Amino acid sequence: MQVLNGVIKSIEELNEDSVNNAQERMENLIKPPGSLGVLEDLAIKMAGIMGDSRPVIGEKSVIVMAGDHGVVQEGVSIASQEVTRQMLSTFLNGIGGVGVLARQAGARVVVVDVGVAGGPVNVTGVISRKVKPGTQNIARGPAMTREEAVQAIEAGIEVVRTEINRGAGVIATGDMGIGNTTPSSAILAVLGNYTALEVTGRGTLVNDDVMSLKCNTIASALEINKPDCTDGLDVLSKVGGFEIAGLTGVILGAAANNVPVIIDGFISTAAAMIAASLEKKCINYMIASHLSSEDGHKLMLEYLGLKPMLYMNMRLGEGTGAVLAMNLVDAGCRILNEMATFSEAEVMDLEDDKILK
Amino acid sequence: MQVLNGVIKSIEELNEDSVNNAQERMENLIKPPGSLGVLEDLAIKMAGIMGDSRPVIGEKSVIVMAGDHGVVQEGVSIASQEVTRQMLSTFLNGIGGVGVLARQAGARVVVVDVGVAGGPVNVTGVISRKVKPGTQNIARGPAMTREEAVQAIEAGIEVVRTEINRGAGVIATGDMGIGNTTPSSAILAVLGNYTALEVTGRGTLVNDDVMSLKCNTIASALEINKPDCTDGLDVLSKVGGFEIAGLTGVILGAAANNVPVIIDGFISTAAAMIAASLEKKCINYMIASHLSSEDGHKLMLEYLGLKPMLYMNMRLGEGTGAVLAMNLVDAGCRILNEMATFSEAEVMDLEDDKILK
């Protein structure tokens, strides 16, 4: 708890001077003010996060937190629980979704077992921070104890800190966990004050019968656990998951270290909601990437006041959407750094093309 | 006209075998079917366009067509006409918006003067295909003759052909032309059957007074010219522009050469509408990039049945949005090529991580 409290305390407001200086330069670039829209906002946000009015995107890491969910006993998922474990190596060896897209983006993939069912994951490169081999069934009681939630969050804090110390300047969040749209929906319901019906989406391959079962399961989880919406740790431990807790730590840890964190889809944004409920200032360090095709994602982003950039109808998780957005964050920084201002351009004789020579 | 007719005749349907083979592989990749959404659609479309079930994105070019507009005499634009000419060198020397983003994307920038006001543009690298130094004022009569429209289209066909011969495997469209939201709005009104009010947007820095003037100007252009909505060349020559004609040629030429063309914002999509009205099959070769903040852009994309991927609130033109989307097209192809299928993954002992060794 000490680590978590320390991190929460050290999250600052964005650097106002850097924001103002970046804004001023942006307004003087050789284009109509505002015409690059979100690219401009991104660059100015990056300036504030990094405390540098000419921010340059650093090394990139995507941190994929993995965990299993006792609630799959209720039949809320079509896929079998073993898939959580099986997919982890594909992220690292580059044949899985996030493996491919991270290679394209030039991002390091970090995979962490915070709560995968069964024994240790025997894959080189998977970091073991297993709190427990999966949560308890949230339809019957709490997912985990409050202490376990803190332990998983602090694992995320430690992993992101290590990445930042290794040189990461931008972090993307990713998740792997069969059944994890169910706890994520429950988190949305509690913190966003929605009914189970309003937050239940199709997840992966869920048909109408399973949808109805899933909705009832979420309703039971809320009814039995009665999570306290004013206490993020209570919500997380009662209806969350270990990978969601790990991602909460990643987000808080990035913010505490003045590093931007790109939020992936439904599961990652559930973690972002928990992080925001623990310390609202961390929202300033978040960059929304894509709008997932999972129904409730839009509501989550609205809760956080974030706007997605990519409308790709994706719902794979793993950090795929967040990694895809790294190029956009880079683009924003490049606009601020590499475009000329009117006064810079004026000293060049443009038509005679002296700049090229 | 012979070149244009030849190009129109040579545009084929997408390669069905390649589409089917790509689709089959996509469904067998180690992820829930459909979970990568638009990335999957992109890859399959690329397969059909290129006639290759494992498409690889080739060299990238953005072709920026520039032209001026007689209609600025009506006061529809805040910026002065000289800006069209002044901006061209910034695209090539990399200090302008598209220059910066093309460098990030690894795309060659090709700038073509199809109708810039005044004499030749004295900038190394600007290709001169000037049909005339700007259009006539569409509020008073036709923008150009039908012959001039064909000449500008054929300039675009020739430029894109040269780029493809130099190795370009994907083309992005870009525009530069002070005042060109006005003719683009007029094209949307005619082909989409909208009123002037429904298609008039803010363009660049336009205030309420100018908006009203702009709307009336578009209404006059439609009233005086009476463009025939069943004849794309008639619409283009009466209420279009030289850069719009050039881009129409780029789009048709790319399609005729089985090369994908990424469509930028409002002006480029107006050209795409003209291209589609000349040969509907060319829509299959188009990839929509972003949704511009210019109001009518949504209506244009609906007309073409295309969905944008990036919601960045951008409205700079120059090809900035199209270039930003190149990374997404590449990502789709990589998913198809680099992700493993379930049967490919099965032969690997994933947990023992043999792939890494």
Is there a single domain that holds both residue B43 and residue B16?
yes
Question: Which of these, A90, A91, A73, A92, lies nearest to A81 by C-alpha position?
Answer: A73
* Cβ contact, residue pair A79, B32, below 8 Å: yes
CB A258 within 8 A of CB A48: no
Burial class of B284 by CB neighbour count within 10 A (0 to 12, 13 to 18, 19+): middle
Would the pLDDT of B349 be above 80? no
Q: How far A57 CA sits from the closest chain B CA (Å)?
A: 13
B347 touches chain A (CB under 8 A): no
* Cβ contact, residue pair B311, A31, below 8 Å: no
Per-residue pLDDT, B346: 80
Is there a single domain that holds both residue B154 and residue B266?
yes
* Cβ contact, residue pair A36, B311, below 8 Å: no
Q: What angle separates helix B242-256 from helix B146-165, to the nearest 10 degrees?
A: 50
Q: Which residues have C-beta within 8 Å of that of residue B8, sequence separation ≥ 6?
A: B252, B256, B278, B279
Largest pairwise CA distance in chain A? 75
Would the pLDDT of B133 be above 90? yes
Which residues in chain A have their CB less than 8 angstroms from residue B334's CB? 100-101, 103-104
Which residues in chain B have their CB less than 8 angstroms from residue A310's CB? 309-311, 328
A91 alpha-carbon distance from chain centroid: 17
Closest CA in chain B for residue A91: B339
d(CA B331, CA A176) in angstroms, rounded, equals 21
Which residues in chain A have their CB less than 8 angstroms from residue B97's CB? 30-31, 35-36, 335, 339
CB A238 within 8 A of CB A142: yes
Residue A340: DSSP 8-state: P
Q: What is the mean predicted confidence (pLDDT) over B213-217? A: 96
Which residues in chain A have their CB less than 8 angstroms from residue B99's CB? 339
CB B282 within 8 A of CB B257: no
Is there a single domain that holds both residue A115 and residue A213?
yes
Residue A318 catalytic? yes
Q: What is the pLDDT of residues A89-110, one digit of tens each?
A: 999 999 999 999 999 999 999 9
Residues 289-308 of B with CB under 8 A from A: 293, 307-308
Q: What's the domain count of chain A?
A: 2
Is there a single domain that holds both residue A27 and residue A94?
no
B interface test, pick of A40, A93, A113, A349 with most B CB neighbours within 10 Å: A93
Is there a single domain that holds both residue A156 and residue A297?
yes
Q: What is the mean predicted confidence (pLDDT) over A67-88? A: 95
Residue B356 banded pLDDT, cuts 50, 70, 90: very low
* Cβ contact, residue pair A313, B125, below 8 Å: no
Would the pLDDT of B67 be above 70? yes
Is there a single domain that holds both residue B37 and residue B106?
no
CA angle in degrees (0–180, nearest 5) for B168-B169-B171: 75
Is there a single domain that holds both residue A85 and residue A37?
no
Q: Which of A124, A313, A348 sits opposite B356 (nearest CB)?
A: A124
Q: Which of A79, A327, A334 sits opposite B100 (nearest CB)?
A: A334
CATH code of A110's domain: 3.40.50.10210
Instruction: Count residue pairs from A and B with Cβ separation < 8 A.
Output: 205
* Cβ contact, residue pair A122, B38, below 8 Å: no
Mind telling me the catalytic residues of B? 318
Beta strands in A116-263 (DSSP E): 127-128, 168-176, 261-263
Is there a single domain that holds both residue A200 and residue A302?
yes
Closest CA in chain B for residue A82: B351
3-class secondary structure, A341: strand
Is there a single domain that holds both residue A80 and residue A200?
yes
Rounded to 10 degrees, the C-alpha dihedral A180/A184/A185/A188 comes to 180
Question: Which of these, B13, B132, B164, lies nearest to B67 by C-alpha position?
Answer: B132
Cβ atoms within 10 Å of A206's Cβ, excluding its own: 18
| pTM, rounded to two decimals | 0.96
* Cβ contact, residue pair B310, A313, below 8 Å: no
Residue B357 banded pLDDT, cuts 50, 70, 90: very low
Token pair, residue B310, equals: 């990036």
B85 touches chain A (CB under 8 A): yes
Is there a single domain that holds both residue A292 and residue A159?
yes
Would the pLDDT of A355 be above 70? no
Give the count of alpha carbons within 13 A of B60, CB side only.
Answer: 23
Q: What is the pLDDT of residues A244-257, one digit of tens each?
A: 999 999 999 999 99
Question: Which of these, A145, A25, A134, A22, lies nearest to A81 by C-alpha position?
Answer: A134
Is there a single domain that holds both residue B113 and residue B94?
yes
Residue A181 banded pLDDT, cuts 50, 70, 90: very high
Residue A171: DSSP 8-state: E
Helix (H) or strand (E) holding A115: strand A107-115
Q: How far A303 CA sits from the closest chain B CA (Å)?
A: 19
Q: How far A221 CA sits from the closest chain B CA (Å)?
A: 26
* Cβ contact, residue pair B327, A330, below 8 Å: no
Q: Which of A33, A95, A314 sits opposite B36 (nearest CB)?
A: A314
Closest CA in chain B for residue A95: B339
Is there a single domain that holds both residue B195 and residue B129?
yes
Proportion of chain B above pLDDT 90, given as a percent: 92
Helix H, strand E, coil C: the string for chain B is CHHHHHHHHCCCCCCHHHHHHHHHHHHCECCCCCCCHHHHHHHHHHHHHHCCCCCCCCEEEEEEEEECCHHHHHCCCCCCCHHHHHHHHHHHCCCCHHHHHHHHHCEEEEEEEEECCCCCCCCCCCEECCCCCCCCCCCCCCCCCHHHHHHHHHHHHHHHHHHHHCCEEEEEEEEECCCCHHHHHHHHHHHHCCCHHHHCCCCCCCCHHHHHHHHHHHHHHHHHHCCCCCCHHHHHHHHCCHHHHHHHHHHHHHHHCCCCEEECCHHHHHHHHHHHHHCHHHHHHEEECECCCCCCHHHHHHHHCCCCCECCCCCCCCCHHHHHCHHHHHHHHHHHHHCCEHHHHHCCCCCCCHHHC
Would the pLDDT of A199 be above 90? yes
- Its domain, for residue A250, covers 59-328
User: What ipTM did this prediction achieve?
Assistant: 0.95
d(CA B71, CA B75) in angstroms, rounded, equals 8
Residues 179-218 of B with CB under 8 A from A: 204-205
Q: What is the pLDDT of residues B157-186, one digit of tens each?
A: 999 999 999 999 999 999 999 999 999 999
Residue B209 banded pLDDT, cuts 50, 70, 90: confident
Per-residue pLDDT, A235: 98
Q: What is the pLDDT of residues A137-173, one digit of tens each?
A: 999 999 999 999 999 999 999 999 999 999 999 999 9
